[in-house]
Amino acid sequence: MKTIKYAGNPNYKTLLNFISKSDYEVFIIGHSCGMSDKTLLKELFENPLCKSIKLYYYDDKDLKDKQANISRLAKDKMLMRNKLDSAEKLYQE
């Protein structure tokens, strides 16, 4: 459903224009990276101009879930592993 809605949203085209201009990094805070956003996330992560993906997570389960979800999105697993930067815990216990 979201894929269909992206086409009619001017923000989507603005984002695509932005990521086509120069190198960028992706910082993930509070997003599950689930399959409902597969199309958009694949475009962000697999773009050659995406230089790294940095995960911020709540706990070990959250980190593993995010890593698994990102892995499911990736066509090229090695490329995705290379782009995944260090993860950082948001809250210290």
What average pLDDT does range 30-58 have in this prediction? Answer: 91
Longest CA pairwise span in the chain (Å): 43
Q: Are 28 and 55 in contact (CB under 8 A)?
A: yes
Q: Are 33 and 70 in contact (CB under 8 A)?
A: yes
Q: Does residue 73 surpass a pLDDT of 70?
A: yes
Instruction: Please give the backbone phi and psi of residue 61, each rounded to the nearest 5 degrees, phi first.
Output: -65, -45
Q: What is the pLDDT of residue 74?
A: 86
0.85 exceeded by the pTM? no
Q: What is the pLDDT of residue 75?
A: 87
The pair of structure tokens assigned to 49 is 């101009």
Task: Name which residue leads in pLDDT, 1 or 90.
Answer: 90
